[in-house]
Structure 1
Amino acid sequence: MEGSYLSFAHALVVTLLILLVFSTNNTVSSSIATSNLDSKTDIEYIRTSCNSTVYPRLCYHSLSVYASEIKTDPKVLATTALNITLKATKSTARMFIKLSKVHGGGLMSKEAAAAMADCIEVIGDSIDELQDSIEELGHIGNSNFWLTMGDVQTWVSAALTDEDTCMDGFKGKAMNVRVKTLIRRHTIRVAHYTSNALALINRYASKNLAYP
């Protein structure tokens, strides 16, 4: 009799353990499925948003890696785009400063060196404008939404103009072709980032959200 009772108790424990494992596996599977669905939604949101930019491919590739942070938040999307642009602009400015010190051996004429100095100055202005934009977006609220957005749009537009001014300064200047190509490539890259950031800022503004 005692043996039968122990066998029954053992079978009951085994059954409960099987049910527990099955329930846990279902919960884990459900969580993974939900996570995957959320991830696809976040990625698709970035893809759709980037379609409103002039350079959608660059936009998607630069922002999709931050999908889990951006989710479907237009403010975070715009801020992330600005941070990416700021990082690229700072990197370009550092490279230009190094190039400005190399104007011998026919790499850069005095006129080109002067244009480089002007370029470094306006790129510095661009960095300031992007930093101001990021800071202002962090303070946006109900009462100052449109005023703040107006400032941000103005600053980012000015940064884009600064980048165009930088490139224009080298027209007709005698300098090494490879150096000029390098300057042009990096300036255009930064301008494309800035253009995309501005498009996403405008998209965010169009949503008329104060507290996304």
Structure 2
Amino acid sequence: MASSAVSKQSYCHSLAILSTTLAFFCVAKTCLAENFKPQVESGDDFIKTSCGVTRYPDLCYEKLSAYADTIQDNPTQLANVSLSETLKNAESTLIMVQKLLKKRKLRPREADAIKECVETMKDSVDELQKSMLAMSDLEGPDFDMEMSNIQTWVSAALTDEDTCMDDSEENSIDGKVKDTIRSYIVTVAQLTSIALALINSIH
């Protein structure tokens, strides 16, 4: 009888030790899992890192960080948002230049230079629009061809913007008008450069 009691006591003691040991391993496993959990880069960090490959990282981050939740860590989405921001700025710049042409009393040479700028900005907007459309349908067997087209169009848009700046510098445009045009065009050209760099980063 006494032997049975001792045996039962030993059994209960062993069970308690086993339970404690299992509990310890469960806690240890949980701790290890937490400590070695893969670190997923946040959308904000991803944007900051990606903007580092561009010529204008500060402007890039300033314009795109607000879309961190949408972009997350997706390079295609990042390039798409960047292109969208560039297009919006190009369109507003085109409108501004058109208004200058209508509202200001310009000498013939000034008017011709600004008309040239309007035409090149129209081309830039058109090329960015085509790029946006192609970016919305990158999935499928034509990926490489579509990417090549997008890169060509965005590069052409950047060339058009540079041409507009060159025209305003080379012609005798009133200083205030020239500075206004240049301030807008410079920003658009920088945004276009950023978009092109981020598009080139897509694999």
TM class, shorter-chain normalised? Answer: 0.7 to 0.9
Report how many aligned residue pairs link the two structures: 165
Counterpart AA for 2:63: S
The within-5 A match list for 1:112-123 is 112-123=110-121
CA separation in 2, counterparts of 1:190 and 1:112? 22
Q: Look at both structures and tell me which one has the larger radius of gyration over its CA atoms.
A: 2
The within-5 A match list for 1:87-166 is 87-104=88-105, 108-166=106-164
Runs of 4+ in 1 over 6 A off after TM superposition: none
Are residues 1:200 and 2:201 paired?
Answer: no
Partners of 1:133 and 1:151 within 8 A in 2: yes
The within-5 A match list for 1:41-120 is 41-104=42-105, 108-120=106-118
TM-score normalised by L of structure 1? 0.75
- For structure 1, the 5+ residue unaligned runs are 1-36, 208-212
CA separation in 1, counterparts of 2:49 and 2:116? 38
Counterpart AA for 1:110: P
CA separation in 2, counterparts of 1:137 and 1:190? 19
- For structure 2, the 5+ residue unaligned runs are 1-38
Deviation at 1:95, TM superposition (A): 0.4
Partners of 2:64 and 2:82 within 8 A in 1: yes
TM-score normalised by L of structure 2? 0.78
Are residues 1:181 and 2:161 paired?
Answer: no
CA RMSD in angstroms comes to 1.4
CA separation in 1, counterparts of 2:170 and 2:142? 45
CA separation in 1, counterparts of 2:48 and 2:97? 32
Identity %: 43
CA separation in 2, counterparts of 1:133 and 1:100? 28
Deviation string 1:54-76 (CA, Å, 9 cap, x unpaired) is 00000000000000001111111
